[in-house]
Chain A
Amino acid sequence: MNLLEEVIHYYQTNQAGFWQATQQHLVLSSAAMLISLVVGLPIGIWIAHRTRIAQVTINIFNSLRVIPSLAILFLVLPYLGLGFTPSLVALTFLAFTPVLINTYTGLRGVDRSVIESATGMGMSKKQILFQIEIPLAIPAIVTGIRIASVEVISSATLASFIGGGGLGDFITRGFALFDVPIMLVGAIPVALLALASESVWSIFLFLYQKPYAA
């Protein structure tokens, strides 16, 4: 049996476990993305109009970014124990920074003359935010989401270390048994999921910008 056949064989004999792990992986990743969007987008929008606070916030999150995902997992362990919750917290934290920073930079990057003429024409702050600033910041925001989603999907494999489940379980198992095919049963779908997410967001962005790009 070659490697690929072994991978397929392992998958076929562990189908139930595989799909359960995939589902866990997706639920964990999506939940982390959802929470970081629900929290990160409004905060990013809020700080975009407050330069001082923004500087401080961005600096804090940028410096926290250097902490490796694995370290975050182990840092939350003493407080949240094992399982789904600490994994979710760590992944949410991971996704939060690119969402926040890209929302902020996207909104700040809107051409000042555009805002000035909108204001000068008598649009209210709210109208400018929803009709001008956010639509023009979408490319940056979606880029943040794309980066975050790829990071979350790949880092969700680490959840397995603290009993969070997901496709990482196959990788840890394969690693423990020195069994490459088992590892690949986890690793290949993770790579495909990351790639899929990357593509979906890229296509979305392309379609979004296509009409008005020069």
Chain B
Amino acid sequence: MQTSKVKPGELTTEGEPTHNNVIRSGEIVCQEVTKHFPENSRPAVDHVSFKVAAGDLVVLLGPSGCGKTTLLKMINRLYEPDQGQIWIGKEDIQTLPVNQLRRQIGYAIQQVGLFPHMTIWRNIAIVPRLLGWDEEKINMRCNLLLELVGLSPTYLGRYPRQLSGGEQQRVGLARALAADPQILLMDEPFAAVDAINRERLQSELLIIHRKLHKTILFVTHDVEEAFRLADKIIILKDGQLIQYGTPVEIVVKPENEFVAELVGSNNLLRKLSLFDVQSLLEAKQYERHNSFSKASFTSIQPQENLRTALSMLLESGAEQLHVVDNKGKSHGVITFQDLHRLLFEQFTSPAAELE
């Protein structure tokens, strides 16, 4: 992956004075949060309660109009709830100065919203400058962030319109990460990007998440995307929280017919296609075999989905697939039996074991 040169320690701003930080935790708690726009008959967000642990990547999933954006915008107070409370760590966000709060929460949206009259450097530097960082530190940060999102530092002097949609979205992500916030809010950031770039961006987001341990609230209506990214998924319908759980919990034990329908729990193949081989391996906590001879077996890469794994098992007639990454390193094996166990509820929660 082209983004892996940056070492984790370089990307945090540990050791910064924290006295002007209003946010000291990545934990988000919503309590009975309700928002009713006067022009609508029912609330856009209806008594929603949940808790997101610091460092989790939680996806808000649901059909268009179910209130995902409204819920997200209440967390950085672009909207104020009519009822209920939102806490970040121990702080009720209502009690915090609103612009301070927003400067410490990264925000990325589908339309990107880059400032067209400013260079990429100025775009990324917005929040650091608001926070009074010195020029030299901002320069270092900009270079690091561009590398992190897979763009060359030569882009710093360009203007947004000189970049492709995917590149703009990468800059949007870099800008959201600029002041090293503990929390990142992302509203369908990849929805307008073409399929190939979207997958690439998703993988890179996962890598960034693993590296930086930010709390990420990610809105999407795309079920595949939700399952690729999420530690946990919140399913919303008509403003109400229907289910909150790990991807496996949601597929294996859908709360109701709506969830089952949405994630395709009734279709075994679809169910398999939502998980990658890696997650099954992690579920098994399989011991590593590093000394296989690589000649005589059917192999599969960890990031392939399980539907592909099943096809390969069926087509090759092999009893097991050896999981080998693109560097030739072996990660273990998976069998029919494992797929069967996943589908029929015999794993508790692979994602839970990722912690």
Which residues on A sit within 8 Å (CB–CB) of B113?
A: 111, 113-118
C-alpha gap A34/B326 in the complex (Å): 68
Does A119 have its Cβ within 8 Å of any Cβ on chain B? yes
Give the contacting residue for B126; candidates A115, A121, A135, A213; CB below 8 A: A121
B residues 48-86 with Cβ under 8 Å of A?
76, 78
Also in contact, A132 and B115, with CB within 8 A (given A117-B107, A119-B102): yes
Task: Let me know if A123 and B78 touch, CB within 8 A.
Answer: no
Which residues on A sit within 8 Å (CB–CB) of B268?
A: none
Does A207 have its Cβ within 8 Å of any Cβ on chain B? no
B residues 131-173 with Cβ under 8 Å of A?
159-162, 172
Also in contact, A120 and B116, with CB within 8 A (given A212-B159, A214-B161): no
Does B203 have its Cβ within 8 Å of any Cβ on chain A? no
Which residues on B sit within 8 Å (CB–CB) of A119?
A: 78, 102
Does B109 have its Cβ within 8 Å of any Cβ on chain A? yes
| Contact-residue size bin, chain B (C-beta under 8 Å from the other chain) | 20 to 34
Task: Let me know if B78 and A124 touch, CB within 8 A.
Answer: no
A residues 93-142 with Cβ under 8 Å of B?
111, 113-124, 127, 132, 135-136
Does B263 have its Cβ within 8 Å of any Cβ on chain A? no
| Contact-residue size bin, chain A (C-beta under 8 Å from the other chain) | 20 to 34
Which residues on A sit within 8 Å (CB–CB) of B159?
A: 211-212
Task: Let me know if A123 and B112 touch, CB within 8 A.
Answer: no
C-alpha gap A114/B127 in the complex (Å): 15
Shortest distance between the CB of B145 and any CB in chain A (Å): 15
- Please give me the residue from chain A that is nearest to B104 by CB atom: A122
Shortest distance between the CB of A111 and any CB in chain B (Å): 7
Which residues on B sit within 8 Å (CB–CB) of A113?
A: 109, 111-113
Which residues on B sit within 8 Å (CB–CB) of A121?
A: 102-103, 107, 126-127, 130, 175
The interface bits of chain A over 194-214 (1 if a CB of B lies within 8 angstroms of the residue's CB, else 0) are 000000000000000001111
C-alpha gap A66/B70 in the complex (Å): 45
Shortest distance between the CB of A141 and any CB in chain B (Å): 13
- Please give me the residue from chain A that is nearest to B160 by CB atom: A212
C-alpha gap A136/B104 in the complex (Å): 26
B residues 94-119 with Cβ under 8 Å of A?
98-104, 107, 109, 111-118
Which residues on B sit within 8 Å (CB–CB) of A211?
A: 159
Task: Let me know if B117 and A122 touch, CB within 8 A.
Answer: no
- Please give me the residue from chain B that is nearest to A115 by CB atom: B113
Also in contact, A114 and B116, with CB within 8 A (given A120-B107, A121-B107, A122-B103): yes
Which residues on A sit within 8 Å (CB–CB) of B126?
A: 118, 121, 123
Shortest distance between the CB of A204 and any CB in chain B (Å): 15
Shortest distance between the CB of B112 and any CB in chain A (Å): 7
Shortest distance between the CB of A160 and any CB in chain B (Å): 43
Some 29 contacts from A to B, beta carbons below 8 A apart, are A111-B111, A111-B116, A113-B112, A115-B113, A116-B78, A117-B107, A117-B172, A119-B78, A120-B76, A120-B78, A120-B185, A121-B126, A121-B127, A121-B130, A121-B175, A122-B100, A122-B101, A122-B102, A123-B99, A124-B99, A127-B130, A132-B115, A135-B117, A212-B116, A212-B117, A212-B118, A212-B160, A212-B161, A214-B161
Binding site for A on B (CB under 8 A): 76, 78, 98-104, 107, 109, 111-118, 126-127, 130, 159-162, 172, 175, 185
